[in-house]
Amino acid sequence: MTERRASIGARRNPETEAAVLDAAVAIVEEKGISGLSMEAVARRARAGKATLYRWWPTRGALLMAVYQRQKRIAGYPDTGTLEGDVAGFLDTLFSHWSRPEGRLFRHIIAAAQGDADVAEALEAYRQDRLASLSELFERARARGELSAAVPSGDMARAVMAMAWLHLLVDRLDADTAGMARALVRGWTVSRGAGEARPQ
Amino acid sequence: MTERRASIGARRNPETEAAVLDAAVAIVEEKGISGLSMEAVARRARAGKATLYRWWPTRGALLMAVYQRQKRIAGYPDTGTLEGDVAGFLDTLFSHWSRPEGRLFRHIIAAAQGDADVAEALEAYRQDRLASLSELFERARARGELSAAVPSGDMARAVMAMAWLHLLVDRLDADTAGMARALVRGWTVSRGAGEARPQ
Amino acid sequence: MTERRASIGARRNPETEAAVLDAAVAIVEEKGISGLSMEAVARRARAGKATLYRWWPTRGALLMAVYQRQKRIAGYPDTGTLEGDVAGFLDTLFSHWSRPEGRLFRHIIAAAQGDADVAEALEAYRQDRLASLSELFERARARGELSAAVPSGDMARAVMAMAWLHLLVDRLDADTAGMARALVRGWTVSRGAGEARPQ
Amino acid sequence: MTERRASIGARRNPETEAAVLDAAVAIVEEKGISGLSMEAVARRARAGKATLYRWWPTRGALLMAVYQRQKRIAGYPDTGTLEGDVAGFLDTLFSHWSRPEGRLFRHIIAAAQGDADVAEALEAYRQDRLASLSELFERARARGELSAAVPSGDMARAVMAMAWLHLLVDRLDADTAGMARALVRGWTVSRGAGEARPQ
DNA sequence: AATTAATCGAGACGGTACGTCGTGTCTTAAA
DNA sequence: TTTAAGACACGACGTACCGTCTCGATTAATT
């Protein structure tokens, strides 16, 4: 995994980059996030510390790089109903966050609380995902499924908030269908507002 | 704040406890959360490190202690409508989180991501707040304001999620009325679902 | 071993004293000298730290107390010749220093290097032993065995020095007969100065 | 003594080494041996604790390094007689041990009693000095001054023992001529064994 | 072809914080 | 007054990382 690498001249060595990111992932899997020090990554990747700091000036930057290396989630299922779409979105997201590299995300949020650079990167990423999520609501609006009272952005934010909360309190096994229902039921044109099951 | 304190026998000295918590608050206000090391707190409080670790075994435990020392937010406004109540709740909470000691909460959430003890304490606290928040919805249900389709707990969770999201991305200045409207509009019996303003 | 003991009124409790000294010996046997802290002794003896400090103000004082509790070595063999007497003395002493409580002595010497109180106690003890050792030479002088050129005290000091050196460099298994011969041969009236075996 | 020093690459910085040893000497001179903590040395030398522990893993190792930095005592006087040589040796040694850096030696012996690494280093040093001291006796033997009964090594050990004893009981002001006489008188061919002064 | 310049692994450096341990002092409550 | 108990302020322990640095080597692009 860690053969000798040297400079390839006056430019960045992609093998080194890969070795570093791989090492970071491996460390988090083995020791948890608290084991992820720059020192440990350098050691494991057989990279010089200066090399690390040259390309990832902070631990948060390294974290973001690892997280973003994975390809974006391509798209979300189109089930034909908003409630189904939202439930599908949550399912996809929760199972993504449950995988080794996805697990990092909660730590990125944590890091952002004390590191402005991470916060900025996270915010950019979040806005991007928010836009992507909004499309789901636009689709429903186009279908005429939506009572237009609530802006798409607000609804997307509510869904994202629900997702983050469950990530941060380690409840990724929660009932996504229930969540979708609780959020969506009111936004959609009333078919069944009266037949509600009290609980 | 930092007079000499000694043992008062084989039992905890409340003066020491106060000095430590005061020191922690002062440090966070002056240096930010990254300045809050056990070392620094001990130094500032003129307390031995052993004393700190005796009563607050982790940084997270200390954080929770500081946060919980402040008296609970007494109650939330009763505005007569659910939407008003929710908006009031968010206002109260956001202004609380904006004050020096309230600022700590986001760091407690961050700490919980890597420390099981903090996570446990946070979860207990969260359930407590959730129950308190649910009362708001029970009140609305008693008024007959609520379409009974959605359990109170689910609605409370959605509101809490919205609040946490805005805390964690540093948007405590966001439009709470809008948030309340986005969430509540659908849960309530439809008076005005048709007159929505599209976006 | 460590039943409950309490105050027996306004005077020293001999049970406590015994428990403390026993604990000290046990600790040194189990953990070595570096494990012998006042803290550890108090813990093991189930004694209060204040009690310890009241009666043995320093670690060195405790060490001396443990060492001196053992009864003095009664006397040394009278073999009829000085060389035999000295060899016997060294044998007795080395086997004493090899036993658990005897092992402490090297640590007392070590402690004396940095603690004036211990140094003083050790010096008193040493003068006492020196006087006792001198008797051995007086006996030889009385027998007419000694060429009177050298004061008894000087000879005793030389023998003691040899013993200490071997203790301090952990060579208690060395050839005591050889030592005795090397020291004594020249002090005695010349019977055999010519027949020496070079080596 | 405490200018800024930094790494000079992946190898030991001799300036740092000098600063540390200087600091150690200064501390012992000012505060005595009990003030010589690794912490204090690092502080005074403006060196990181890790740097200290990298090169001197124990306090004893540091002590040995300080002691050995001084150049060896070049040679011992050749007075023409063994007794004179031994007295000269003791004089030289005692005055060396009385100087600031020489004072350390008793603490090295003390440290060796509880630290195997120091004991080992000390033993190597001691064997070296013993060999050097033996030459003095070989010289006397070559002059025919010595009754060959006693091995040179045994005599050297006796002289060393005498020296150590006086060091350890803080009697470096003792009469070295008397010591030399007491030890040597018997080893030499009897010229004057009869005219001894009784005591 | 020789030179320049950025990169690489390596690891020492001065620091800070960690969490633990021992020190000697103190107070309590019981005997 | 002594006892066991143990909290307290203090400070050293030895370890781990931090972010900076200097080195000697490697290699591509520039002279």
3-state DSSP of A22-40: HHHHHHHHHHCHHHCCHHH
Check pLDDT > 60 for residue A1.
no
- 3-class secondary-structure state, position B22: helix
Matching residue, tokens 């912490």: D39
pLDDT at B75: 73
Q: Cβ distance B36 to A114 under 8 Å? A: no
**pLDDT (average), residues D42-62:** 97
Confidence of residue C145 (pLDDT cuts 50, 70, 90): confident
Put simply, the answer to whether B199 touches A113 (Cβ < 8 Å) is no
Mean of the per-residue pLDDT values for chain C? 87
C chain contacts of residue D36, beta-carbon cutoff 8 Å: none
Residue type, C131: A
Put simply, the answer to whether B158 touches A199 (Cβ < 8 Å) is no
| φ, ψ of residue D188 in degrees (nearest 5) | -90, 160
Matching residue, tokens 């469950």: A166
Check pLDDT > 70 for residue A199.
no
pTM: 0.87
pLDDT at C8: 78
For D83-118, write each residue's pLDDT tens digit.
999 999 999 999 999 988 889 999 999 999 988 888
Instruction: Tell me the Ramachandran region of residue D121: left when phi exceeds 0, alpha when psi lies from -120 to 50, beta otherwise.
Output: alpha
What is the Cα B37 distance to its own chain's centre? 22
CA distance C152 to chain D (A): 8
Please tell me which of the candidates C107, C154, C162 has its beta carbon nearest to residue D182.
C154
- CA D19/CA D7 separation, integer angstroms: 14
**pLDDT (average), residues A158-177:** 97
Check pLDDT > 80 for residue C9.
no
**pLDDT (average), residues D124-144:** 91
Residues facing residue B146 across a β-bridge = B188
pLDDT at B73: 66
- CA A191/CA B52 separation, integer angstroms: 59
Q: Which of A69-73, C40-44, D186-190 has the highest mean pLDDT?
A: C40-44
Q: Which of A70-79, C181-190, D52-61 has the highest mean pLDDT?
A: D52-61
Confidence of residue D21 (pLDDT cuts 50, 70, 90): very high
Put simply, the answer to whether C149 touches D183 (Cβ < 8 Å) is no
The torsion defined by the Cα of B28, B32, B33 and B35, in degrees rounded to 10, comes to -90
F strand bases under 7 Å from protein CB: 1-29
Strand nucleotide closest to residue B40 (CA to C1'): E17
Residues facing residue D146 across a β-bridge = D188
For B140-172, write each residue's pLDDT tens digit.
888 888 876 788 999 999 999 999 999 999 999
Contact partners for chain C, using 3 or more CB pairs closer than 8 A, are: D
Put simply, the answer to whether C32 touches D111 (Cβ < 8 Å) is no
The torsion defined by the Cα of A51, A53, A57 and A62, in degrees rounded to 10, comes to 60
- CA B94/CA B105 separation, integer angstroms: 11
Q: Cβ distance A188 to A145 under 8 Å? A: yes
pLDDT at C71: 66
CA dihedral sign, ordered C12, C17, C20, C21: positive
- B52, containing H or E segment: helix B49-55
Put simply, the answer to whether D119 touches C160 (Cβ < 8 Å) is no
Check pLDDT > 90 for residue B191.
no
Q: Cβ distance B185 to A149 under 8 Å? A: yes
**pLDDT (average), residues D29-57:** 96
Nearest CA-CA partner of A181 in C36, B157, B1, D67: B157
Looking at chain B, which residue has its C-alpha nearest residue A178? B154
pLDDT at B150: 83
Report the 10 Å Cβ neighbour count for B192.
10
- Nucleic chain E: which protein residues 21-60 of A have CB below 7 A from it? 45-51, 54-55
Nearest CA-CA partner of C139 in C156, C124, C125: C156
Put simply, the answer to whether B150 touches A185 (Cβ < 8 Å) is yes
More confident residue, D142 or C4: D142
Check pLDDT > 70 for residue A187.
yes
pLDDT at C167: 98
pLDDT at A155: 92
D152-168 vs D176-184: helix crossing angle, rounded to 10: 150
pLDDT at D97: 95
**pLDDT (average), residues C33-57:** 95
Mutation target among A93, A105, A120, A157 for the B interface, most CBs of B within 10 A: A157
Residue C166: partners with Cβ closer than 8 Å, 6 or more residues away: C94, C172, C174, C179
User: CB pairs below 8 Å between C and D: how many?
Assistant: 146
pLDDT at D75: 72
C7 strand E contact, CB < 7 Å: yes
More confident residue, C186 or C111: C111
Q: Cβ distance C33 to C91 under 8 Å? A: no
Measured CA C27 to C1' F2 distance, in angstroms: 25
For C165-196, write each residue's pLDDT tens digit.
999 999 999 999 999 998 988 776 554 433 33
Strand nucleotide closest to residue D37 (CA to C1'): F12
**What DSSP line would sit under C101-170, residue for residue?**
TTTHHHHHHHHHTT-HHHHHHHHHHHHHHHHHHHHHHHHHHHTT-B-TTS-HHHHHHHHHHHHHHHHHTT
For A38-50, write each residue's pLDDT tens digit.
999 999 999 999 9
The pair of three-digit structure tokens given for residue C36, joined into one six-digit string: 């012998």
For D141-176, write each residue's pLDDT tens digit.
888 888 767 889 999 999 999 999 999 999 999 999
pLDDT at A68: 87
Q: Which alpha helices (H) appear in chain D, and where do they start and end?
A: 14-31, 38-45, 49-55, 59-69, 82-98, 104-112, 116-142, 152-168, 176-184
**What DSSP line would sit under B113-134, residue for residue?**
TT-HHHHHHHHHHHHHHHHHHH
Residues facing residue A138 across a β-bridge = none
pLDDT at A189: 61
Check pLDDT > 70 for residue D73.
no
pLDDT at C192: 41
Nearest CA-CA partner of A158 in C24, B166, C78: B166
| CA-based end-to-end distance of chain D | 55
Residue nearest to nucleotide F4 (CA to C1'): C48
Measured CA C101 to C1' F2 distance, in angstroms: 29
Measured CA A61 to C1' E5 distance, in angstroms: 27
Contact partners for chain B, using 3 or more CB pairs closer than 8 A, are: A
Residue A34: partners with Cβ closer than 8 Å, 6 or more residues away: B114
For B92-116, write each residue's pLDDT tens digit.
999 999 988 889 999 999 999 988 8
DSSP 8-state code for residue D71: P
- Domains of chain D, first to last: 14-55 (1.10.10.60), 82-184 (1.10.357.10)
